[in-house]
């Protein structure tokens, strides 16, 4: 049934999604040129609010739970599992007051209206996975911006999407690089569940009437803990939220 309705609803979703990207591309440019970084950020936040709304055109249920009063005057490293590109708009919108940035593939900085523009000028890190020196340098630059502006970062330590919903092992590399420069960052795991089901049949049709949830878990203080302990604790917390 989800697949059958997906054939009907996917074109509507893609049309709305694409129109939003085309509309907000010049809006982002104008905001950046006239209002600077802060105005650009607001335009990106609003774009992702509407992108998230486009999920409802597939009959999707969106659930975001954050029972914690997280600090806004301290950098945060949000550690999340990764299931599909549909993970991201909710993270941008619901974590907007924490100025959450992303570590993205450099290939995404070209050819995608709105998204590529934001990746180029939004302050995140765009890494070349084939060039480890470039990747580390980009992440270090992001860490400097975190320290300077009290920004936060969302990192997906699996390194790639878990297309069947089953978590892959976490890699400590990016987290270690960030914490080296910003050791006072708060670590906050986020469990994402259900977004992989949207794309379980591929890009077409998308699956209709799926429930997608994002749950912010208990923060972890990194003091007196090794990187491996922090990563293992985050991974275990997300697994527990997803599977138990």
What is the phi/psi pair of residue 134, to 5°?
-65, -40
Whether pLDDT at 163 is above 90: no
What average pLDDT does range 84-94 have in this prediction? 97
101/182 Cα distance (integer angstroms)? 14
Cis omega (within 30 of 0) on the bond before 153?
A: no
Q: What is the mean pLDDT of the chain?
A: 95
Model confidence band, residue 7 (pLDDT cutoffs 50, 70, 90):
very high
Q: What is the CA radius of gyration of the chain?
A: 18
Cβ atoms of 233 and 218 closer than 8 Å: no
Asked if 7 contacts 203 with a C-beta cutoff of 8 angstroms, the reply is: no
pLDDT by residue (tens digit) across 115-162? 999 999 999 999 998 888 999 999 999 999 999 999 999 999 997 777
Q: What is the pLDDT of residue 28?
A: 98
Q: Work out the average pLDDT over 191-219.
A: 96
**Structure-token pair, residue 163:** 């297309």
> Which whole number is the average pLDDT over 166-179?
91
- Ordered by where they begin, the domains of the chain are 2-243 (3.40.1130)
At residue 116, the pLDDT reads 97
Which candidate, 135, 78, 81, places its Cα nearest to that of 105?
A: 135
Q: What is the pLDDT of residue 161?
A: 75
DSSP labels for 111-152? Answer: SSTTHHHHHHHSS-EEE-TT-HHHHHHHHHHHHHHHHHHT-E
Listed in sequence order, the residues at least 6 apart from 78 whose beta carbon sits closer than 8 Å to its beta carbon are 91, 95, 98, 100, 152, 153, 154, 155, 188, 189, 190
Backbone angles phi, psi at 168, to 5 degrees: -95, 165
User: Between 132-149 and 173-181, two packed helices, what is the crossing angle to 10 degrees?
Assistant: 40
pLDDT of residue 151: 96
Over residues 16-20, the mean pLDDT reads: 98
Entry pTM: 0.94
């Amino acid at each position: 049934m989800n697949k059958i309705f997906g054939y009907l609803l996917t074109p509507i979703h893609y049309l709305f999604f694409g129109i939003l990207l085309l509309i907000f591309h010049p809006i982002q440019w104008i905001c950046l040129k006239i209002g600077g970084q802060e105005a650009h950020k607001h335009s990106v936040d609003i774009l992702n609010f509407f992108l998230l709304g486009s999920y409802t055109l597939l009959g999707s249920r969106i659930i975001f739970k954050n029972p914690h009063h997280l600090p806004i005057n301290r950098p945060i490293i949000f550690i999340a599992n990764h299931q599909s590109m549909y993970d991201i708009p909710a993270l941008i919108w619901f974590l907007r007051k924490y100025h959450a940035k992303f570590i993205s593939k450099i290939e995404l900085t070209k050819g995608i209206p709105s998204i590529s523009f934001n990746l180029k000028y939004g302050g995140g890190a765009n890494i070349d996975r084939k060039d480890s020196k470039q990747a580390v340098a980009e992440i270090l630059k992001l860490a400097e911006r975190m320290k300077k502006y009290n920004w936060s970062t969302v990192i997906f330590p699996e390194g790639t999407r878990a297309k069947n919903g089953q978590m892959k092992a976490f890699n400590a590399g990016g987290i270690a690089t960030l914490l080296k420069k910003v050791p006072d960052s708060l670590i906050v795991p986020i469990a994402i569940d259900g977004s992989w089901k949207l794309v379980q049949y591929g890009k077409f049709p998308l699956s209709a009437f799926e429930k997608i949830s994002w749950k912010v878990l208990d923060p972890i203080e990194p003091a007196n803990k090794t990187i491996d302990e922090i990563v293992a604790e985050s991974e275990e917390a997300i697994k527990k939220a997803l599977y138990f």
